[in-house]
Amino acid sequence: MPMKEINQLDLFSGIGGFHLGFERAGYKVNSYFSEVDKHAVAVYKHQFKDSTYVGSVTDVRGADLPRIDLITFGSPCQDFSLAGKRAGMEGERSSLITEAIRLVHECRPRVFIWENVKGTFSSNDGADFWAIIQAFANIGGYRCEWQLLNTSWFLPQNRERIYLVGYSTAPNGDWEGVFPLGGSDGKDNVKRIKVVGDRGTGGQQGMIYGDDGIAPCLNAHSFADPMKIKETLKVKNATQKGYEEATIGDSINYSNPNSKTRNGRVGKGKANTLDTACCQAVVEPKIIGYTRDAKGKVTDHHLKDTAGTIHTGSGGGGNTDQFIQDYRIRRLTPIECERLQGFPDNHTSKGIYDGEVKEMSNTQRYKQCGNAVTVDVVQSIANKLHPLFEE
């Protein structure tokens, strides 16, 4: 199939997750992107050098753009987030979605896609979500469908997000829409609605352990005491037991470490939802090596991040015996966060500032990954949309 060329208006663009997802689905994407975070803008310019920056969403006007085929927007979600203050549509940041809706009205794209947090469903007892649906309906001429998707169906990160797709006309043939996608539990949360003007539609991190073997506080600057680590790590939470158990390969969320009401700190074999500060750690083995002399006497011991060469004569003079002593907890690296969101390694490592390529700080890299859409999820949606872009 020949590559379909589309013009995309990428609002609240971040580091280009929507752009990259459509590219991977076989589209040639000409992006006009809007973002106010200068570091995200710098990464976008570095990764998509033919893209056009159009400034803040409040300044973008449809009349100033070429024909737009696709509008994507993962509008700021803090006021909808279950972890936020839940100001909803009254919040200063989340109200920016009205600017995106304005641009859908002005540009009349074939398709628009909105991504947001699960908490949007319940914000103000659901009134905010239905107000947004009503706003889409008032544009006229679009059908909308949406589904709560989880990144864990594609990558090892538990990240639930609403994806809403609006399209102006259905293609010929038996096309049945975009959703359901993903895991087997996804079919029950698919919603479709015709909104054609209708109204009234309802470094390394560690732990210090207490005497009971439970970590009372997860601290980004402390290291585990190897004498007190058990076969499984006990992480305090609000369950009846008072803790969750973690072992090698599990993730631990160490945000709000002293909270007595938090649940779900441990991800069994996958990451919890990435946030902008990357309060995520992974449990991995800590390797200890003992160096012995020719008589087998231990002359030195040391902790290692990775195992060294295992010699055929291990235990002989000058050689090292190696084994797992215990566990350690370390923060995820920026590259690991990129992979959990479906980006290539070092996607966020550099940016273009005033025409000059500069290195990106880890703080900004974590923030950008936490704010991004998951590329693999977008790609899966984009694959289903090919019939809508056929002439």
- What CATH number is given to the structural domain containing 129? 3.40.50.150
Q: Is the pLDDT of residue 52 over 90?
A: yes
pLDDT at 36 (0 to 100): 96
**What distance in Å separates the CA atoms of residue 331 and residue 324, rounded to the nearest whole number?**
20
Cβ neighbours around 261 below 10 Å, total: 7
Whether residues 51 and 173 share a domain: the answer is yes
pLDDT at 28 (0 to 100): 97
How many structural domains compose the chain?
Answer: 2
Domain range for 34 is 4-202+342-389
Q: What pTM, to 2 d.p., does this model score?
A: 0.79
Who contacts 264 (Cβ-Cβ below 8 Å, separation ≥6)?
237, 253, 272
Residues forming beta bridges with residue 234, ordered by sequence position:
214, 245
Instruction: Pull the structure tokens for residue 331.
Output: 């923060």
| In-domain check, residue 262 | no
Whether residues 321 and 353 share a domain: the answer is no
Which residue would you say has higher pLDDT here, 8 or 323?
Answer: 8
Assess contact for 46 and 21: CB atoms under 8 A: no
Q: How confident is the model at residue 390 (pLDDT cuts 50, 70, 90)?
A: confident
Who contacts 211 (Cβ-Cβ below 8 Å, separation ≥6)?
none
Whether residues 197 and 81 share a domain: the answer is yes
Whether residues 182 and 212 share a domain: the answer is no
Q: Is the pLDDT of residue 373 over 90?
A: yes
**What distance in Å separates the CA atoms of residue 205 and residue 281, rounded to the nearest whole number?**
7
Mean pLDDT over residues 204-212, rounded? 32
**What distance in Å separates the CA atoms of residue 296 and residue 306, rounded to the nearest whole number?**
23
Least confident of 34-38, 67-71, 149-153, 321-325: 321-325
Whether residues 40 and 67 share a domain: the answer is yes
**Residue 238 amino acid letter:** A
Does residue 180 have a cis peptide bond before it, meaning omega lies within 30 degrees of 0?
yes
Q: Which of 41, 101, 89, 285 is nearest to 31 (CA)?
A: 41
* Tens-digit pLDDT profile for residues 339-356: 999 999 999 999 999 999
| Catalytic choice (77, 144, 337, 369) | 77
Assess contact for 261 and 309: CB atoms under 8 A: no
**What distance in Å separates the CA atoms of residue 115 and residue 343, rounded to the nearest whole number?**
17
**What distance in Å separates the CA atoms of residue 250 and residue 45, rounded to the nearest whole number?**
35
| In-domain check, residue 274 | no
**What distance in Å separates the CA atoms of residue 275 and residue 217, rounded to the nearest whole number?**
19
* Tens-digit pLDDT profile for residues 266-298: 888 898 888 888 888 888 876 666 666 777 776
Q: Say what percent of the chain tops pLDDT 70.
A: 70
Mean pLDDT over residues 228-245, rounded? 74
| In-domain check, residue 336 | no
| In-domain check, residue 260 | no
Whether residues 32 and 155 share a domain: the answer is yes
Q: How confident is the model at residue 337 (pLDDT cuts 50, 70, 90)?
A: very high
Mean pLDDT over residues 106-125, rounded? 91
- DSSP 8-state assignment for residue 165: E
| In-domain check, residue 270 | no
Q: Give the count of alpha carbons within 13 A of 390, CB side only.
A: 12
Q: Is the pLDDT of residue 18 over 50?
A: yes
**What distance in Å separates the CA atoms of residue 255 and residue 190, rounded to the nearest whole number?**
32
Mean pLDDT over residues 196-214, rounded? 34
Residues forming beta bridges with residue 202, ordered by sequence position:
none
For tokens 């995309």, name the residue.
8
pLDDT at 81 (0 to 100): 43
Whether residues 184 and 248 share a domain: the answer is no
Please state, in angstroms and as integers, the Cα–Cα distance from residue 23 to each residue in 27, 31, 89, 143, following that order. 5, 11, 32, 24
For tokens 């087998």, name the residue.
296
Active-site residue flag, 77 = yes
| In-domain check, residue 263 | no
Q: Is the pLDDT of residue 80 over 50?
A: no
| In-domain check, residue 337 | no
User: Phi-psi category of 16—alpha, beta or left, where left has phi over 0 and alpha has psi -120 to 50?
Assistant: left
Q: Which of 242, 232, 294 is nearest to 263 (CA)?
A: 242
Whether residues 197 and 233 share a domain: the answer is no
**What distance in Å separates the CA atoms of residue 38 and residue 53, rounded to the nearest whole number?**
11
* Tens-digit pLDDT profile for residues 160-201: 999 999 998 766 667 889 999 976 554 445 666 654 433 333
Whether residues 324 and 349 share a domain: the answer is no
Mean pLDDT over residues 145-162, rounded? 95
Whether residues 186 and 320 share a domain: the answer is no
Mean pLDDT over residues 116-120, rounded? 88
Please state, in angstroms and as integers, the Cα–Cα distance from residue 206 to each residue in 106, 156, 224, 367, following that order. 52, 22, 5, 21
| In-domain check, residue 258 | no
Element spanning 22, H or E = helix 17-24
pLDDT at 92 (0 to 100): 52
pLDDT at 255 (0 to 100): 78
**What distance in Å separates the CA atoms of residue 69 and residue 86, rounded to the nearest whole number?**
33
Whether residues 17 and 63 share a domain: the answer is yes
Q: Say what percent of the chain tops pLDDT 90.
A: 45
**What distance in Å separates the CA atoms of residue 136 and residue 141, rounded to the nearest whole number?**
9
Whether residues 85 and 218 share a domain: the answer is no
Q: Is the pLDDT of residue 122 over 90?
A: no
Mean pLDDT over residues 307-332, rounded? 55
CA-angle at 368, arms to 99 and 98, nearest 5°: 10
Who contacts 10 (Cβ-Cβ below 8 Å, separation ≥6)?
16, 18, 19, 31, 32, 33, 34, 51, 72, 73
